[in-house]
Amino acid sequence: MIGQIQTVSVKDPEAARQRVLEAKETILRKANEQDPVLVSAGGGAKNLDAKVIDTAAGPMLITELYVDCRDAMGANAVNTMAEAIASTVENLTGGHVYLRIISNLATKRLAQAQCVVPKESVGGEEVVDGIVYASAFAEADPYRAATHNKGAMNGIIAVILATGNDHRAIEAGAHAYAALKGQYTSLSKWEKTEKGDLRGSIELPMAVGLIGGAVRTHPIAKVAMKILGVRTANEFAEVLAAVGLAQNLAALRALAHEGIQRGHMSLHARNIAAAAGAPEDIVNLVAERMVKERKIRMDRAIELIKELSADES
């Protein structure tokens, strides 16, 4: 994970940057003194860098601390280290430190997944072509990419919530990574193989933990982790990337094959039928009739409930 220390009012930012880099070992030692348990587990502050950025409030020197968090997400450890080295950075630069905090753009903690799907499994080569075209659309157009990536995150965030991890951090990191090259683009890519099958891949930051926070204390999170059976945070991240890729494929297949609205309409119709008071044994019948008629409304659901209930009596 990356911890950032923001220094302002530095007279010579480039010279100050060099002084910070020259004091790397001293800074890392100070950071690691804050978490001897993490260090004993093989983690801790491993490296640092510094950069000068131009902002609307003037130039700033940003010192970046790289921390191996092992099987923790790491926010507490990184923030504690960043705060501890702030005074050292001030002394070295002659400036004033304000922010000392983790970055959720975890580019040092990327997860990847890949797959090859036989064309028969998605409905044939025409559907494969549709998915490839949809992928190219998302890669080139940020308006499509936002919805494309949302489809992948639908699966990832569900698992993140179930396991007590920080869904806001994962969401923020993923979307920032999608825009890292200057234009927001797709996190996944789908291509057609020489045999006409579908090849997919995804890459995104995945700062998750198996220890700390609610992961080890919330009973539902503990059960979810037991079901997953993952042994390390890296393995957990790989599972999440695979879930995102699978969820993305499901959405793209629906779009390229039958249209997304068909599935949405069926779900919406079931919700309307249940809200209208349909008994459990006729909820599906009411929903199917509404979808067939394309009249998914509360008043029509009530009418159908009365009709079906009368038929049964």
- Each residue of 59-73: pLDDT tens digit? 999 999 999 999 999
Structure-block tokens of residue 63: 């010192």
CATH number at residue 235: 3.90.770.10
Verify that 88 and 217 share a domain, yes or no.
Answer: no
Q: Note the pLDDT tens digit of each residue in 16-35.
A: 999 999 999 999 999 999 99
Instruction: Assess whether pLDDT exceeds 80 at residue 264.
Output: no
Verify that 146 and 208 share a domain, yes or no.
Answer: yes
If one counts every other C-beta atom within 10 angstroms of the C-beta of residue 272, the result is 20
Predicted confidence band at 236 (pLDDT cuts at 50, 70, 90)? very high
Quote the CA–CA distance of 179 and 1 in Å, as a whole number.
19
Verify that 196 and 209 share a domain, yes or no.
Answer: yes
Q: Give the SS3 label for residue 190.
A: strand
Verify that 165 and 241 share a domain, yes or no.
Answer: yes
Predicted confidence band at 267 (pLDDT cuts at 50, 70, 90)? confident
CATH number at residue 35: 3.30.70.420
Instruction: Kindly tell me the sign of the dihedral angle through the C-alpha atoms of 271, 276, 280, 281.
Output: negative
Structure-block tokens of residue 164: 């007590």
Task: State which amino acid sits at residue 87.
Answer: S
H or E element at residue 160: helix 142-162
Instruction: State residue 210's pLDDT score.
Output: 94
More confident call, 300 vs 262? 300
CA distances from 310 to 95, 240, 276, 307 (A): 80, 48, 16, 5
Instruction: State residue 218's pLDDT score.
Output: 93
Q: Note the pLDDT tens digit of each residue in 84-109.
A: 999 999 999 999 999 999 999 999 99
Verify that 119 and 222 share a domain, yes or no.
Answer: yes
Quote the CA–CA distance of 269 and 284 in Å, as a whole number.
9
Verify that 251 and 271 share a domain, yes or no.
Answer: no
Structural domain boundaries, residue 86: 2-103
Give, as one character, the DSSP assignment of residue 282. Answer: G
Verify that 149 and 233 share a domain, yes or no.
Answer: yes
Verify that 87 and 183 share a domain, yes or no.
Answer: no
Quote the CA–CA distance of 197 and 104 in Å, as a whole number.
36
**Structural domains counted in the chain:** 3
Can you tell me the mean pLDDT for 192-202?
A: 97
Verify that 144 and 76 share a domain, yes or no.
Answer: no
Predicted confidence band at 256 (pLDDT cuts at 50, 70, 90)? confident
Can you tell me the mean pLDDT for 253-267?
A: 74
